Structure 1
Amino acid sequence: MPEQPRKKRQREPYQLPAGRHGLSRQFVVANQRQRILAAVADVCSAAGYVAMSVEDIVVTSGVSRRTFYDNFRGKEDVYLAAYDEVTQQLLRHVYESYEAADGLVAKIRDSLGAFLSFIAEEPAFADMCIVEVMAAGSIAIERRNQTMAAFATMIEKAAADELPKAKLPPALTAETLVGGIYEVVYSRVLQGRGDELPALLPDLLFSVLLPYVGQETATSLLKNERRRSKPKAKASSKPADE
């Protein structure tokens, strides 16, 4: 039986065309770096940080080992670079929602919703930054802690801007809340259920707001958010007289 011709591997949108392309050296270097960082997320999600190797990243990104080592010192270095890039994207996305909203409730709701949506829509990034960061060493965990501190600061600022000082809960409250949200997100991502996270917004919003606005207001907001998040019933296509 004659050997079947191999199918050509489809070129990814971020990959450069083969052969002479006339692109600037600066563009090529930036493209190669982005391909390496994207490959880190894909490999880390599929294999886990511990099993991930430089060879895996090189093969997935389609660059040479020399190109890899021109950009990064090794596995930990490239992981930290990829982690920083993704968390910068995430924080920018969350900050934009936070700044565009008006008032404590809206700021917390919109920024928390932006966070949950980002994680749900980027499963490889979620695996890399939420789950595998715990296996990537002390420096990576410290970067994670800094990201969580940034979220806690947002909550504290939104509360301080709206509530009198006498009504603010203890300073540790925001940090504790962010830690609890992280555990909820971690467990879903670990189980491959990251797509469920946006649906948890009403309950997580209740948990965050409770220490700041009290039981009655938080419960009312919870009910309103659950109503808002319910999918609208589709209009019947049947004639009214059937």
Structure 2
Amino acid sequence: MPDEKLPAGATAQAAEPASAHRSRLIEGMAHSVAAKGYADITVADIVREAGVSKRTFYECFATKNDCLIALYVAASHGALKVLKEAIDPGRDWKTQVEHALGAYLACLASNPALLRTLFIEILGLGSEGLQVRRRMNQELADFVVQVVGVGHSHPAQDSAHTAAMAMAVVGGINELVLQAIENGGTAKLATLTPACSALVRAVLTAPAPNPAALRA
């Protein structure tokens, strides 16, 4: 694919490593979707925001969808980083969960347009979008298990049950966020903190079912 004329001021970017170009393009995607929504943006919009050429885009990403997936992963890791940094080991785990969830939800609410794209439009990518969404949800569920495990011990045989319940908690929180997005309540996501915290406490502190009792 022939290169296009670089946007003004982009010549200096030619010497940047590929990782820097990739980061600029992901940021360009974020600005583009926040301004216009994913369905209406083009690769031209992304490269204009990033200050690079179309050739550089296709050296980093095969398609616009690939760039959206990269943005989704970066944004998800950013939100997870906020969650992790909000953990205070000096507090009991229930207080830690509530404080961390509040910080996480506030982070999600900070960019409503981007949030809608990442929670809703990522699913429009089909199996690719679903796969990466599940991977990010698994990372979040693993972290929930880690935090809860520090202050609330489970028998070894309950580990699989706890992991499954953690994923159920993540799914429940995601559904509450989706509902807020659809109802135009993105700016008030932090008000979901008590409900999300109660969900974590109720689900992850419940004892695993007794297999013998289930068979009876």
Q: TM-score range by the shorter chain?
A: 0.7 to 0.9
CA–CA separation in structure 2 for the residues paired with 1:124 and 1:100: 33
How far is the alpha carbon of 1:116 from its aligned partner? 0.2
Give the equivalent residue in structure 2 for 1:130: 119
C-alpha RMSD of matched pairs (Å): 3.0
Letter in 2 for 1:102: R
Q: How many residues align?
A: 196
User: Contact (CA 8 Å) 1:119, 1:126: kept in 2 or not?
Assistant: yes
Alignment check: 8 A CA contact 1:37 1:82 kept = yes
Structure 2 portions without partners, runs of 5+: 1-6, 207-216
Which one of 84, 87, 94 corresponds to residue 98 of structure 1? 87
- 1:239 aligned partner: none
Pick aligned residue for 2:109 from 91, 105, 120: 120
SS of 2:52 mapped into structure 1: coil
**Mapping of residues 47-62 of structure 1, within 5 Å:** 47-62=36-51
Match of 2:53 in 1: 64
Whether 1:75 and 2:67 are equivalent positions in the alignment is no
- 1:177 matched to which residue of 2? 169
- Structure 1: gaps of 5 or more residues: 1-15, 215-242
Higher relative CO (CA 8 A, sep ≥ 6), structure 1 or 2?
Answer: 2
Residue 108 of structure 1 aligns with an amino acid whose one-letter code is: V
**TM-score, L = length of structure 1:** 0.68
In 2, Cα distance between the equivalents of 1:191 and 1:109?
24
Whole-angstrom CA distance in 1 between matches of 2:90 and 2:15: 42
Higher helix proportion (structure 1 or 2): 2
1:193 and 2:185 are equivalent in the alignment = yes
User: Which is higher, the Rg of structure 1 or of structure 2?
Assistant: 1
CA distance in structure 1 between the aligned counterparts of 2:11 and 2:62, rounded to whole angstroms: 29
- 1:50·1:136 contact (CA, 8 Å) conserved in 2? no
Q: 1:42 to 1:163 in 2, by over 3 A?
A: same
In 2, Cα distance between the equivalents of 1:129 and 1:76? 12
For residue 73 of structure 1, give the secondary structure of its aligned residue in structure 2. Answer: coil
